[in-house]
Amino acid sequence: MSQPRPAGVHVRTPATSANLGPGFDALGLALELYDEAEVALRDDDRVMVEIDGEGADEVPRDGSHLVVRAMRSTFEAMGKQLPGVELRCRNRIPHGRGLGSSASAIVAGVSAALVLLGQESVGSGRIDRDRVFRLAADIEGHPDNVAPCVYGGFTIAWREAEAWHALPLAPSPRLRPVVCIPEERLSTEQARGLLPDSVPHGAAAFTAGRAALLVAAVTGHPELLLDATVDRLHEAYRGPAMPASAALARELREQDGLPAVISGAGPTVLVLGNAPELAERDENPPPEGDPGRINGDQADSIRERAGKGWHIRPITIDPAGVRISSPRLWTCVEE
């Protein structure tokens, strides 16, 4: 028996790379690689989930699916109970690689829930990003992926007085990220479990200075990225859990002079290259001998350096973050 279909919503959410070296749990970048989710409420309490693409064979197809959990949390935050849902996902962000697949699912669930609660209107195509960000950060527990996923571009996120905050900033148009995605996975939970309770004062002071430099480098001085991406708070502690990624990042930095970091909790390696040929679009043109540049040849040289088993992908920065629109993917059917 088919049900009358409630009005649904289509949500598009970008991949994200967090930390960017010294910006642990604070800095993030949105990338032009998108998950799509489409959701409608049902009149009963059934949860129906269809998934295409990344994670299709692994993620649950019931109420424990992360998009549905985020919807449930959002309904509860508004004093409502989530009824049954129909969810269709087209996933492109690889799972367990440090590219923000969880943040993408959470932001999709929160955004969809707000629309279906009548708190946001698809017609305008706009959404209250601050509210989505706060609800999503509460669910994720750290804000550095959800912030760029919601706002796009480059973000600084923090928590103060029990509240989440984010500042979106425009990244330099010269920035040209390349992601090096391995076959292996590492869960964020496992990677966070490798961190020590405390670090030496010198490591904290060093990293604070580089994080400040990193904000300047990403927003206008990408020629400083090699120095600006050195971290002493997390990457070395996690290296043993992703030795191939740690080795690739080190070789790219030390032998090729490229600002390579571990993306989020890993094991993807992110190269924050910059493209001097784009300098005419930049208010801060590159100085002579600009290091860390990326062009087609260098993407090939990264590919060569990485060798087999890595997917090397030059990628542009997503400027806009989460986007809502009318449904377009519907295929859920009654069994």
- Least spacing, CB of residue 188 vs ligand HSE, in Å: 5
Residues 127, 2: Cα–Cα separation, whole Å: 31
Q: Is 265 in the site for ligand HSE (CB under 6 A)?
A: yes
Which of residues 61, 192, 311, 313 is near ligand HSE by CB under 6 A?
192
Q: With CB under 6 A as the contact rule, which of the stretches 173-181, 188-196, 294-302, 319-327 interacts with ligand HSE?
A: 188-196
Q: Considering the complex, state which of residue 127 and residue 146 has its C-beta at the smaller distance from ligand HSE.
A: 146
Q: Considering the complex, state which of residue 143 and residue 286 has its C-beta at the smaller distance from ligand HSE.
A: 143
Q: With CB under 6 A as the contact rule, which of the stretches 163-171, 187-195, 223-231, 280-288 interacts with ligand HSE?
A: 187-195
Helices (H), the chain: 66-77, 101-116, 129-140, 146-151, 188-193, 201-219, 225-228, 235-238, 243-254, 296-306
Cβ-based neighbours of 296, under 8 Å, separated by 6 or more? none
- Do 225 and 210 form a contact (C-beta atoms < 8 A)? no
- Which residue type is seen at 161? A
Which of residues 104, 145, 155, 268 is near ligand HSE by CB under 6 A?
145
Burial zone of 235 (CB within 10 Å; 0-12 exposed, 13-18 middle, 19+ buried): buried
Q: Considering the complex, state which of residue 241 and residue 332 has its C-beta at the smaller distance from ligand HSE.
A: 241
Binding mask 267-306 for ligand HSE (x = CB under 6 A): ----------------------------------------
Q: Considering the complex, state which of residue 39 and residue 106 has its C-beta at the smaller distance from ligand HSE.
A: 106
Q: Is 259 in the site for ligand HSE (CB under 6 A)?
A: no
For ligand HSE, the nearest residue by Cβ is 264
Under rule CB under 6 A, which residues in 20-49 are in contact with ligand HSE? Answer: 24-25
Q: Give the phi and the psi of residue 170 in degrees, each rounded to 5.
A: -80, 125
The closest of 74, 67, 138 to 104, measured between CA atoms, is: 67
Q: With CB under 6 A as the contact rule, which of the stretches 107-115, 119-127, 141-149, 158-166 interacts with ligand HSE?
A: 141-149
Instruction: Please report, for residues 180, 209, 303, the alpha-carbon distance to residue 307 in angstroms, rounded to integers and kept in the order given.
Output: 11, 34, 6
Which of residues 142, 174, 221, 323 is near ligand HSE by CB under 6 A?
142
Q: Considering the complex, state which of residue 19 and residue 111 has its C-beta at the smaller distance from ligand HSE.
A: 19
Residues 157, 259: Cα–Cα separation, whole Å: 22
Q: Is 91 in the site for ligand HSE (CB under 6 A)?
A: no
Q: Considering the complex, state which of residue 127 and residue 233 has its C-beta at the smaller distance from ligand HSE.
A: 233
Residues 174, 6: Cα–Cα separation, whole Å: 45
The closest of 177, 178, 136 to 312, measured between CA atoms, is: 178
Residues that bind ligand HSE (CB under 6 A): 18-19, 24-25, 98, 142, 144-145, 188, 191-192, 234, 264-265
